[in-house]
Structure 1
Amino acid sequence: MQLSGQQYQIQGLNVLDICQQFGTPLYVYDADVIIRQINNLKSAFNTVPLRIKFACKALTNISVLKLMQTQGIGIDAVSVAEARQALLAGFKPKDITFTSNGVDFSEIQEAVELGVSINVDNLPTLELFGKIFGNTVPCCIRLKPNIRAGGNAKIQVGHEHSKFGIPLAQLPDVHTLVTKYNIVINGLHIHTGSDILDPEAFIQGANVLFTVAKEFPDLAFIDFGGGFKVGYKKGDKTTNMPDLGEKLSAAFKEFCKDYGRELEMWFEPGKYLVSECGVLFVKANQVKQTPSITFVQVNSGLNHLIRPMMYDAYHEIVNVSNPAGELKTYDVVGYICETDTLGSDRQLNEVRADDVLALLNAGAYGFTMSSQYNARFRPAEVLVYKGEARLIRERETMEDILRNQILLDF
């Protein structure tokens, strides 16, 4: 979203016109930003055989998935339903990886029946996998590298106490199961967390994988996960992709030389591809002045964007209706019957009732983590593609709230 003259635009479209057409609250995604981020990643790793698997839990709208598919990337799914969405969007089974965590084994079996690649992250599942499939279906294993990296503690997933991955200390048990059931291990995977700024965290994880990989002769790929840092505030530092690409690619090529053949390098970015593409537009219901704070109360809240409450995440807020107004200080809060502060102590151009505010960097883990809490409707979604704003999800209605409920006759 860019300020052009006295109006904010997405691909040349006035955002207020988009909000007028589709109403608020409203998620709007810029396809050009998604394509830009994909190309940035491809460019940074253009000297190695690269496969990008979009971590679709970040944004699962099937039109967005279809856009990803047209750009030649794959999907990392964390449920069979996500895998099925990807298939509906046009992905082939071979382009989808199912990375489960603690699921019932029937879900693994269903994923195998769909033909998608399997990533296993615990010993009991690996043993069941071996018993049932033997050497007929290959799988990847997810390792826990004992690295603490990333932003909020809730999104650090590679450390010793994380529930994710097989600890390195259990590698002998992995080999026992692989030998016992003749399991074909075709990939190794780690994911240490989200919002990782320091390239050395990736290099550290890579070194773990390179060491372990020498114990597995049938590898086709190594998956380095995702977690690249994106900017939320002006001046925020982000992952230096060219620097990371140069360092990690050099290390990977040296490893492949030692391994004896060339493998594929996989990444599974989520937030990096879609965070910056998304804007949540909300309307100011009223401006509430108190002796100490001025609240802007909007027609949205934690039911539509839970990240500020769950992760203490920062989203820049802009008054798109009054970009030239006098700067004043506000707390922007939601309409949920819970404390749902979307932004505190924010300098905004003067906000008036019915003004439209934009919450930036809302493309990742926005709609996908939304709910019907307080019996509120989830918002519509719009994709701006080639200069046209197109509806990709209708706003919910009362029928959606009541769907699947059963009213008993007492």
Structure 2
Amino acid sequence: MNHPVARLPGHPHIARKDGVLQIEGQSLSELAQAHGTPLFVYSKQWMLDALAAYQRGFEGRDALVCYAIKANSSLGVLRVFAEAGCGFDIVSGGELARVLAAGADPVKVIFSGVGKTRAEMRQALAAGIGCFNVESEAELEVLNAVALEEGGRAAVSIRINPNVDPKTHPYISTGLKGNKFGVAHDRAVAIYRHAASLQGLQVVGIDCHIGSQITDASPYLEALERVLDLVEAIEAAGVPLHHLDFGGGLGIDYNGDTPPAADALWQQLLARLDARGFGRRRLIVEPGRSLVGNAGVCVTEVLYLKPGEEKNFCIVDAAMNDLPRPAMYQAFHQIVPLAERQGQATTYDVVGPVCESGDWIGRDRVLQVAPGDRLAVLSAGAYCMAMASNYNTRGRAAEVLVSGTQATLIRRRETIEDQLRSEQPCA
């Protein structure tokens, strides 16, 4: 007998069959029973489908998709993208070690970030990474000195701050004058001339990244035009640029958001590149959230229902240390029960057990739940596990990667022994 399957809007890999929530056909309840909660579960197929949209957009072009691993740096996730031929955008020496452990080709690694240390620079040079995205004049000087000390040259791209408003949350806006990222647009030509004169550097490209969770194409188009104006001026000053790096930042659907599809966005951007004569230039993009955000869910168990005079609270075992985005950004995540329950619905604030009033997962959610029920926090694949902490001496959650009929534990649940191993009390 065929049972009806109801797919969740915006989440084609998640469906409800016989009233039970599944991911790629695997029961989330059974996974939670096997691995405990809180539990992060990721769909491999969703990640590959998201990557395929970028690949379609760049078909026939000289382009490299570098996954921005700060969105989710779990080795099992990185391996998916390494096997798919992706490059990686990193922001620390630790992230470099992670991508190499996952099987990355170091030539496809781009090192971004405003505060690279000398040790990290030496580590990246020794690994043979493809390019450093340099973010200040001071960094240029240090990288040049380190490269000369190491007897080589560092390939560099300079990140330009185009002063374009990405129309997103101020904490994840990176391309305005008041942001710490990149060099000023009006200083770019002079900085490129200076970089080209340094013996330890090889100038290979230009970089721009304006923010995250962008749901409108217009900021990308505005930034593109400003960057291409600069490319013309820089090359007129005698500094050739091999590649154009347009960063990432494309948003996902958290709550009815309507970002352009990656292939549709790049059709618009490539049309402008072609119109201005840059269509055959090597292109690099650094998507993160758009490749993993909607691939993941966090499964959590209801501990207590607590009625109050002004608020009703649904207290769950996931907390701000597991899901930091609501506390940090007032971010919205859909929350749905794993199994349907009949009865009267109640409006709750869904909160965790951490000793902070900021420890909330969702405000004013209408739910039919009882203690012991499990909930799925959707769109939890990006900036959740990667930003998780041990606050209140809570262990980090387990992670499972689902691929068709296979469910693989890619991170075991952290124990108290794991947390205490590197510490020592005073004598």
TM above 0.5, one fold?
yes
1:229 and 2:247 correspond: no
1:32 positional shift: 0.8
* Amino acid in the other structure paired with 1:118: F
1:287 positional shift: 0.7
Q: Distance in 2 between matches of 1:86 and 1:178?
A: 28
1:229 positional shift: 1.7
The answer to whether the 8 A contact 1:48-1:249 is kept is no
* Amino acid in the other structure paired with 2:374: V
1:358 positional shift: 0.7
- For structure 1, the residue ranges without an aligned partner over 5 or more in a row are none
Partner of 1:119: 133
SS across alignment from 2:408: strand
The answer to whether the 8 A contact 1:219-1:263 is kept is no
SS across alignment from 1:141: strand
Q: TM-score scaled by structure 1?
A: 0.94
Partner of 2:338: 320
1:271 positional shift: 0.4
Map 1:85-234; keep pairs closer than 5 Å.
Answer: 85-116=98-129, 117-133=131-147, 136-182=153-199, 183-214=201-232, 215-216=234-235, 217-233=239-255
Q: Distance in 2 between matches of 1:99 and 1:145?
A: 17
Q: Distance in 2 between matches of 1:190 and 1:172?
A: 15
Partner of 1:292: 310
1:106 positional shift: 2.8
1:199 positional shift: 1.1
Moved more, 97-106 or 313-322: 97-106
1:326 positional shift: 4.1
Q: Distance in 1 between matches of 2:286 and 2:296?
A: 19
**What percent of counterpart residues are identical?**
31
Q: Distance in 2 between matches of 1:291 and 1:336?
A: 21
1:248 and 2:269 correspond: yes
1:386 positional shift: 2.7
* Amino acid in the other structure paired with 1:156: S
Moved over 6 A (4+): none
Q: Distance in 2 between matches of 1:178 and 1:403?
A: 45
SS across alignment from 1:109: helix
Moved more, 313-322 or 246-255: 246-255
Moved more, 296-305 or 122-131: 122-131
* Amino acid in the other structure paired with 2:203: I
The answer to whether the 8 A contact 1:380-1:393 is kept is yes
The answer to whether the 8 A contact 1:119-1:142 is kept is yes
Q: Distance in 1 between matches of 2:32 and 2:162?
A: 45
* Amino acid in the other structure paired with 2:356: E
1:109 positional shift: 2.3
1:324 positional shift: 4.9
Aligned length: 404
1:388 positional shift: 1.3
For residues 123-153 of structure 1, give each alpha carbon's deviation from its aligned partner in whole angstroms, at most 9, with x where no partner exists. 0111223344368332111111111114210
For residues 349-391 of structure 1, give each alpha carbon's deviation from its aligned partner in whole angstroms, at most 9, with x where no partner exists. x110010011000000111100000011111010001321110
SS across alignment from 1:138: strand
Partner of 1:345: 364
The counterpart of 2:56, out of the listed 43, 46, 51, is: 43
CA distance change for structure 1 residues 150 and 50 in 2, over 3 Å: closer, same or farther?
farther
- For structure 2, the residue ranges without an aligned partner over 5 or more in a row are 1-13
The answer to whether the 8 A contact 2:121-2:146 is kept is no
1:5 positional shift: 2.5
The answer to whether the 8 A contact 1:322-1:355 is kept is no
Q: CA RMSD in A?
A: 1.7
Moved more, 329-338 or 121-130: 121-130
Q: Distance in 1 between matches of 2:334 and 2:341?
A: 14
SS across alignment from 1:284: strand
The answer to whether the 8 A contact 1:140-1:185 is kept is yes
Partner of 2:7: none
